[in-house]
Amino acid sequence: MYTIGHLLKEIREEIGLPLQEVQQELGIDLTLLSKIENGKRLPTIEQLQKLSKFYNYDDKLLIIQRESDKIANSLEYPELATETLKVAEDKIKYGNQYIQLFQDTIYQKPIPIESRRYIGSKAKLTEWIMNLIDKETENINTFVDIFAGTASVSNQAIQKYNQVIINDILYANNVIYKGFLKKGKWDKAKLNDIITNYNRLDADLIDENYFSENFGGKFYEHNTAKLIGYIRQDIENLKPELTDKEYNILLTTLIYNIDKLANTVGHFDAYIKKPIKPRPLRLRLIDAQDFDNVKIYREDANKLAQQINSDLVYIDPPYNSRQYNRFYHLYETLVKWDKPKLYGVALKPAPENNSLYCTTKAKNAFKHLVLHLNTNFLVVSYNNTYNSKSHSSENKIKLEEIEYILNKCGKTKIFECSHRFFNTGKTEFDNHKELLFITEVDEKRKNKSLTSLLCR
């Protein structure tokens, strides 16, 4: 790197001065002068001013060179130097206005589908999962994600396979898939205008509503809750003027923007019982796409299994007692907008769509699922929290049971990856791993095992 030292040496040599003469005239230690010229030490501002005057050189230019050395030497990621220096320039140029400039830049970028807090999200594991599927399977045209959750795996599969079937029983997840992935007509400028109007709302001028009366001061700061309720009702009022795709994009945009503002640890089974610091609700459009090769369902997975054919089914069911419809009840209520009667401290509606996979019947439900799927490959995600100290985190299907059932369906390989797991702060669990089972289905073996397995 070309340093201030190299420049000082070139200036000195150009005017024909030996280093000893500089030392004698300025009283700067000879060893120090040598280290400065060799780039091993930065000169102080005082030393630089003495040198510039002695060399009859512009001290401002030398100081700039010195400061650039300091910046360059402090960079931990030199490959980002150009971008870093541009940001530093903007911060100096705009001062206190830079925060607004930065936020404006951020809010121009659409929100990706992976940007959501969700129990069991595979967003950080998707690359690992898809790479293994690529390596261990073949001739995959139809890919099924039968417990899609955040759809991070589906989102990658869409780029690779001819047809992708996405399913989840939750109303909110179904809307999210349609908003992000389903093909449909939509006008981006029209939606941006709607969102701009929402971002101009003044909560103090908005009346109380169903959402603020129930969730304000609990799951959300009260004024934020008023805005959420108002916006949700307005989306419903606009529905006749919106395409189905536009309606789902707006609902998904609302969910993704309020997700980070929730006064929770990442789900709605409880809220944090502390004063909520007000934070602005500023909506940003989701990264909506249009795909021809997607089919979206909101079905019980075990029923859907008997209706579809595929080459590969990815299975990531709930394994513990946490019912997703209860953990994300607020989004279910927000999407359905049926304004139900709410119960308990967590303000949940009456139970709906409870999963057998969160009960002692989980093993039998899993047997029924895999043995009724018409597919060439089964790919099953599983985590090893089955020995968790927390009852709610303890898996309802044991590792040995998963292995046994899948081996009855065909040749099964097991892969593992270290992965930090979700917890609410009460569970201690070391050496957490995500496991991936890949089974090449043998129909004869599976059918032979069907009756005996279902009777156990």
CATH number of the domain where residue 61 is located? 1.10.260.40
Structure tokens at 247: 């309606």
Residue 327 belongs to some domain of the structure: yes
For 445, phi and psi rounded to 5 degrees?
-65, -40
Residue 104 lies in a domain: no
Same domain, 255 and 168: yes
**Residue matched to tokens 């996979």:** 357
**Tens-digit pLDDT profile for the chain (456 aa)?**
668 888 888 888 877 888 888 898 899 999 999 999 998 888 999 998 999 888 888 888 888 888 888 887 787 777 777 777 777 777 777 676 656 655 565 567 899 999 898 988 898 899 999 999 999 999 999 999 999 999 999 999 999 999 999 999 999 999 999 999 999 999 999 999 999 999 999 999 999 999 999 999 999 999 999 999 999 999 999 999 999 999 999 999 999 999 989 999 889 999 999 999 888 898 999 999 999 999 999 999 999 999 999 999 999 998 888 889 999 999 999 999 999 999 999 999 999 889 888 888 989 999 999 999 999 999 999 986 545 455 455 677 888 999 999 999 999 999 998 765 544 444 444 556 889 999 999 888 887 776 666 655
Token pair, residue 364, equals 């039998």
Same domain as 127, residue 54 = no
Q: Is 178 exposed, middle or buried (0-12, 13-18, 19+ CB in 10 A)?
A: buried
Angle, alpha carbons 382-384-388 (nearest 5°):
130
Task: Answer whether 415's CB lies under 8 Å from 132's CB.
Answer: yes
In a domain, 441, yes or no: yes
Clarify whether residues 41 and 166 are in a common domain: no
Q: Is residue 36 one of the residues assigned to a domain?
A: yes
Model-level pTM greater than 0.85?
no
Q: Are residues 57 and 128 in the same domain?
A: no
> Domain with 178 in it: what CATH number?
3.40.50.150
* Confidence (pLDDT) at 131: 96
Report yes or no on 230 lying in a domain.
yes
Q: Please tell me whether residues 16 and 139 are part of one structural domain.
A: no
Task: Assess whether 150 and 52 both reside in one domain.
Answer: no
pLDDT of res. 386: 47
* Domains contained in the chain, number: 2
Which residue in 384, 417, 412, 408 sits closest to 398, CA to CA? 384
- pLDDT value of position 425: 45
- Domain containing 62: what range? 4-74
pLDDT in the model for residue 173:
97
Closest by Cα among 253, 296, 264 to 115: 253
Same domain, 429 and 301: yes
